[in-house]
Structures are given as C-alpha cells and as structure tokens.
Copies of this chain bind each other. A is one copy, B any other.
C-alpha cells in the first residue's frame, strides 16, 4: 500500500508501542535482521562514519553467558536472541591505517560520538523491528557489565557495547507504559527549574496508577520514589558499575584525560 509520510505520522503505532519481554520459539530469520539493519543504517550518523556494529547472538551456549552478564533477568533468559550494539571506532580506524592516514580516535570525545551513533542506530532498528511485528526489549544492564560482555563477544580495541536488544516474536501483546505529560519534558528557550508544585503535578498520574501503587505496597516502601532509590537503582550498585564501565572504556583504548595525565 502506497502511503504518505503524514499518514505514517498519524499511525497509532507511535503511542501504542510497548516493550515486549517474552518471546515464542519461532525463529527470527537472519534475512529479516539483515533487511532491518540495512534500513536502520540510513539513520543519521556522525560525519557519515557509521561508528557502530551489531552482534547477533543465537547460539544457546553464548546466549547463556550473555544472559548471566545481564543478571539472568527474565527478558534475557527466554527465547529472544541478543543484538548487542557496539560503539565501534575499530573498523573506521583500521580503514584509516590501511590508507596510510593516522587515526586520532583514542579519546573520550570519539567514544562519545561512537556511543551516540550506536544508540541512534539501535533505536532506528528497534522501531523497524517493532513495525515488522517483532518484540524488543532494551537491556539497560549492558553498561553495568560491559567488560564481561566484551569478553564473551570477543570485542577488539576501540569497541564498547552500549545497549542490547533482546528480540523475538512476542508471546503476548503488552500494553504501553504511562508517560509524563509532554509539557513536563519541554523547556522554552532555556531550562526552567521545576517548582515543588510542578513536580507534584508531573508525577501525580504515575504515582496514582494501580500497578505502581501495588508496586509500592509489595516492596513495603513509603512512596514510588523509594522503590526507585532503594530497590531498583541503589546508589552502591551504580557507583560500582560506574567504576567498571569507566575502566573498560579506558581499557578499550578510548583513554581518559585523567589517566593519560598520570602516565
């Protein structure tokens, strides 16, 4: 069916989409992945450099290791296959060297550019995969254990895994999660500080949802915010993961100014 871009914009897909975490045993054909990658690669990319790779992992023994690196969360231990999106300056640097040019990408700015590239590409892939009927879930644990994932996936210098999608054919049809009101996300001209009233208004719908109320009760916490700070994202974990990720970025050759200064 021939359609205009404006028709696509009006599709219910954009607001009805939902993360899927449970998949059937039906195979995801490699040709479909190749087709989706080909389309997603037309997403914007820094200087046309395409500073990313995607590693598609299906073998049960490697999946088992990756699932463990993702803390065996249910989305990682099921039928989904793993697509690990890697910030990749390795391929581009190799091209430069092979042409006799001297690549200068062993620095944090280059890591940042490659990470942006990889995430833009991953999100374009996510949209296209969902449109193809696949279910997808981002595993935010990728940066927590990037070093272990890099070991499993045999990552070379100047590559760092930044996000992972577990994908497959959805076993159920999930409902989209709630979102903050758009005006809470938009600032006119410059950043506007949130007052106490703004915060109450912005988060009230989220706090009043039955699922979130139940979540607070199950965890025996005084508020939904406490579930996030005490249960889901405790500071001690984040501090440890920060150190590990920081060290791995450096180990992979995207050297840090502080560390360079010490040499």
Given contacts A42-B14, A101-B223, A189-B57, contact A229 B96 (CB under 8 A): yes
- Contact between B191 and A101 (Cβ–Cβ < 8 Å)? no
- Contact between B107 and A191 (Cβ–Cβ < 8 Å)? no
- Contact between A99 and B226 (Cβ–Cβ < 8 Å)? yes
Q: Give Cα distance in the complex from A4 to B90, angstroms.
A: 39
What is the chain B residue whose CB lies nearest that of A97? B225
- Contact between B187 and A50 (Cβ–Cβ < 8 Å)? no
Q: Which residues of B contact A188 (CB under 8 A)?
A: 55-56
A26 at the interface (CB under 8 A from B): no
A29 at the interface (CB under 8 A from B): no
Given contacts A44-B126, A96-B229, A187-B56, contact A238 B110 (CB under 8 A): yes
Q: Which of A22-70 contact B (CB under 8 A)?
A: 33-34, 37-44, 46-50, 52-59, 62
A interface SS class: helix
Q: Give Cα distance in the complex from A184 to B152, angstroms.
A: 20
Q: Give Cα distance in the complex from A38 to B91, angstroms.
A: 37
Q: Which residues of B contact A119 (CB under 8 A)?
A: 116, 119-120, 123
Q: Which residues of B contact A218 (CB under 8 A)?
A: none
User: What distance in Å separates the Cβ of A263 from its nearest Cβ neighbour in chain B?
Assistant: 14
Copy number of this protein in the oligomer? 2
Q: Which of A71-79, A132-140, A166-174 lies at the binding interface?
A: A132-140
What is the chain B residue whose CB lies nearest that of A146? B112
Task: List the 5 shortest-distance A-B pairs measured between CB atoms, nearest first.
Answer: A104-B235, A108-B242, A99-B225, A101-B225, A38-B182
12 pairs, A vs B, C-beta closer than 8 Å = A1-B4, A1-B10, A34-B182, A56-B188, A96-B228, A98-B196, A99-B223, A101-B228, A105-B238, A107-B242, A116-B163, A154-B191
Q: A-side interface residues toward B, CB under 8 Å?
A: 1, 3-11, 13-15, 17, 19, 33-34, 37-44, 46-50, 52-59, 62, 86, 90-92, 94-96, 98-105, 107-110, 112-113, 115-116, 119-120, 122-124, 126-128, 130-133, 136-138, 140, 143-144, 152-156, 159, 162-163, 176-180, 182-191, 193-194, 196, 199-200, 202-203, 206, 222-226, 228-230, 232-236, 238-239, 241-243, 245-246, 256-259
Q: A3-B7, A101-B223, A110-B238 are in contact. List 18 more A-B contacts (CB 8 A).
A: A6-B132, A8-B13, A9-B39, A9-B131, A37-B186, A41-B185, A46-B140, A48-B177, A53-B191, A55-B187, A55-B188, A96-B228, A98-B225, A104-B238, A109-B241, A113-B143, A153-B191, A154-B190
